Structure 1
Amino acid sequence: MKHSVKFILVILFLIHGLTYAQERLIEKGNEKFEAYSFSPAIDIYKKVLDKGYVSADLLRKLGNSYYYNADYKDAADTYKKLVAEYTEEVSAEDYFKYAQTLKTLGDYDTSSSIMTKFKEITKGDGRANAFTEERDFMKEIKENSDRYNFGTFEYNSPYSDFAPSFFKEGLIFSSDRDTGNFAKYRHTWNAKDFLDLYEVNADSSSLNSVKKLGENVNTRFHESTSVVTKDGQTLYFTRNNSEKKRTVKDEKGIVRLKILRAKLNDEGVWGEVEELPFNNDSYSVANPALSPDEKTLYFVSDMPGTVGASDLFMVSINDDGTFGQPENLGPNINTEARETFPYITNEEILYFSSDGHPGLGGLDVFATKIKRQDFTGKILNVGQPVNSNSDDFTFIFNEESRTGYVASNREGGLGYDDIYSFTETRSLEFDCIQKVTGTVRDKITNEVLVGATIKVINENNDELFSTITDSDGNYSLELDCNKGNFVRALMEGYIPFEEYIGVSDGKPKIIDFYLERDQITAGFGDDLAKLLQLSTIYFDFNKYNIRKDSEVEIEKVIAAMEKYPSLKLKVNSHTDSRGPAAYNLSLSQKRAESTINYMIKKGISADRLVSEGFGETKLLNECSDIVKCSAEKHDVNRRSEFIILE
């Protein structure tokens, strides 16, 4: 009996020891995982699995370790086991990463079904909303594909080469070729790989032309992702957080990333580097890019306020070299996943990599048109061959030469990551809507023209659509600002006029049209006052001097006579029936003469003007001496006419 008890105690002790050993092993693996040391974490988790211990948390962390280490096949197998055996414990992020790995492996149908489950358990997630929008993303990706002639980069090594940036006649890029350490952690924030920055003249054919940047830039730590100002004098780049030749870890034991800046000195060497003020020991700031005017720095961070694993931010660069406050680019660009590696072209197209927007798998390159720092435009996947079912990133592009470079860890490369060159043969087409508004008026009278037709005509002279002006003479259009169009204003009795609007950045535009009268429609005997839509020219009671309000209307007549030098007019003046007929006849004559005298003083030749007063002899309504009428009806008869003689 004593021996039995002793045996049982030994067994219990061994079981406890094994359990304790497994727990310590898992704890060690979790430490590596939390520090983003995914390769050691994978080795430890696999040992635990081999010993027969399995849990949802273990499978999740193992799958994530494979995922962040770009080992998508093993990640997919692990997530599959997690989803099958621990259905109740599967999170939304587990489903999303599983769907991403399946896309990377080319299994788009299964990926779509997993994304459906992802949507079912999420609310308001931008990735789920994008997945369910009424857009066929695979069709869009196919339409955007085959726009690039792909080539090789002859300076690739058997190790990791990525992050090209334009510099002088060549490139600066990142590589671990001198350390022989595969850079598998470049998409995370630990950056334990020891990368350096290299310079190469892209026109050279010799690998000997690849040179390290100076010792002020390259250290024993990690340097990566750079951008240089157009004058070649200022370099922004990414480095490990370090101090006094030692890495600095945050409270979780993670070595974060920071952006630094260096200036080229008189000897052509990069001088002492300085940290940017928005770096922080508690989060990473990396992957710098500059706006075309170099007044804004774009970068990637997981700082507070980040939507996903990493977001794109921007910060203003002041004239004195200081910086403003970082701003998140917003939810249209940033998803709950990873957005990283920004690049902005001279035409203000933002390219970046993401695994949150619908793509082919892994990180894909996306593009969006920036409009005055408005980041709400359509996000386009640039398609194959730039994108693949692997990680595609650090895209740069010269719009003048239509050439560029991109890095990828796709199969068939020389190293773990390789840089590829390309030439663009067909440009991306962004949805770009430009609002055009304005008013249509008579050129001489400045009166608004109600019901004028506004036509939009393309460069092939095809009418696209039309509208008419409202009761205030206003119109509003929305044009495709990726294409040039003519906006034409037409009105019966007027000469049509049009204005060309070329390809633009979509900034709202105001076009006011001032149409001229068609001379053919005005002839002998016509009343110019009606043609010009003049208001009634009033005189004060028992007076014939020109009132200020009437001067405005007569000035319109003068403008017409100045424009048409051959125009001759007869000014007819009329009164209402109130008062003696003889007196009204005399008063009307004086008013007609007063009108032409005013015009003569304004420079109109007297031989172009004739006047006549008709008194109350040509009433326009029934308001004669014996008829009682309202003041408004009498006003209709008190008028001046400008009858065309020639």
Structure 2
Amino acid sequence: MKNFKTLLFIALMSSLSLTAQDSNTKKADKQFSRFEFVKAAESYNKLVENGKATPYVYAQLAESYYNIFNTVEAERWYAKALETSDDPELIYKYSQMLKANGKYKESNTQMDKFASMRPSDDRATAFRKNPNYLPKILEQGKKFNVQNASFNSEQSDFGGTTNDGKLYIASGRNDNRKTYGWNAQPFLDIYRLNKNSDGSYQEAELMNDKINTKYHEGLVSFSPDGQTMYFSRESYFEKDFQKDSLSKTRFSQLYLFKATKLGSDWDTVEPLSINSENYSVKNPSVSADGSTLYFASNMPGGYGNYDIYKASINSNGSIGEPVNLGQKVNTEGQEMFPFISSKNILYFSSDGHLGLGGMDVFYTKEIDGKMAPIRNVGIPINSNGDDFAFTIDEEAEEGFVSSNRDGGQGSDDVFAFKKLQPLCDVLIMATVLDDKTREPVSGASVSLFDSEGNKIVSKMTNADGVAEFIVECEEDSELEVVMQDYNSKKVMVKGTNEEEQNVQISLDPIEKLIVADKIELDPIFFEFDKYNITAEAAFELDKLIQIMNKYPDLVIKATSHTDIRGPESYNAQLSEKRAKSTVQYVISKGIDESRITAEGKGESEPKIDCTGGCTKEQHQENRRSEFIILSGGPGA
């Protein structure tokens, strides 16, 4: 029926061992060597402004911002440094900053370059292990039981829309119709079938001549009350066609019509206002609330051959202006046969998205005005043939799909299916509440991270305190919630096969972190033998910054501690570097440097006594930072 359907996590590392290039950088280098990264960045920036920049200065600027987790500026200056350098570590850090800023395609380009230069590096190896799309599609199998329907004929049969206990299909089984040149089969008509109590169907009944003509009629859809039917028909019936000047061949379009229920039959057929002699509109599907009509069209301004559109159905029955569903849904190929389910999941067929061959069935959902990622329904709904006209009763978990796959009774057959397992997407509904009042918190920022720690998207909670996200099933994820005057929180979300997952997150007031003479953050751990600020450390330090902004007289002393591994003198130096990096991050966020001091304690004050031996986790607990209030607290 071609004419009708034609890898890694952010691993922040210590800065490179670079030495001053000339006297111009002496001041900045000295600040950098003292771990005064904010001041160092200012000094290096002045060199750039004064026309004294060198590749070395760009690299040092990038490293300065990298160490205080200013990802935007770090990305900017790594890019400049790499204009004249091919240092693999700079390339790696650049890729990580791109990823941190949500530029995944650009990040992968840099990682590919890094992996080519360091093929045996573990980071490169992990990157190269990204699976291709085909196994993922094939792994989605066994979610449906698909059977060839008993009512198929030797001719083309497709569709499967139910209304008032009857099933409606399009079929070329009427031998009284003329044949058309595409496949030498009779023109298509609309049939309806009554369902028996045992689930089987009676003989297909040809609909009346108000609906069927001597030309093609196609798929149908119904208003929620079942009183209006929308269907496709060739424009020949309207005497609308175009003629090729050379071949003299007449070309018709496909139009959409609506009919009104009259007793037990259909009458009063009217063309829709969105029809045009210049393009086709076809494959109607009405939303469950009756407010929106989805359809396929090759009207000008689309992305490919046929695109999916939607238009409002007004209270008087008129149709609004068509709206293209956008480039996420539509491709340079063709997208057709939309079906909007009672759960507002949009199913459609496409040959432009990655599939198994021909047209495959895909699905998505609109959330907050944006379309969720496009997912392939998988086998056995899809095959290496054309698979289209997917419809589903979400409550009964059964429906129909049409296909020209091998083993059918005709050129296109209707297949009945039963859903066995949920599809691969999970809707996470995160509800943010005030822990004391249990009232919803509106305007909180909720960020979704994947299992590798990469930020995927951030959203603000609505008036009900809710933010929604679409994730793949069985994939672990993490939600990070930030709200002014509240203690930020991270919540792990275990992967599941359920279609919806409700996550409730309660926030405490930020003052709850102030205990006696300390600000008790969650542990700020450093990597072994490292001192740079990581994404996890930045999340905790942002809480400290929020408190210091709220209480402008607050003065803090930050202490840093190491584990007992390594020489005592070395650990003392390492803890001093960590303390200074911590202070530099806080200063970089606008806190005056007079309000926070740093002290490295080395291994002198362990949280856990490891003289008799410690586990890896216990050593990590000793690598920590603490924040002591010197003056100006809430009770001062």
What is the TM-score with the length of structure 1 in the denominator? 0.49
User: Higher relative contact order by CA 8 Å / sep ≥ 6: 1 or 2?
Assistant: 2
Specify the structure having the higher radius of gyration (Cα): 1
What is the TM-score with the length of structure 2 in the denominator? 0.50
Query: Which of the pair is proportionally richer in helix?
Result: 1
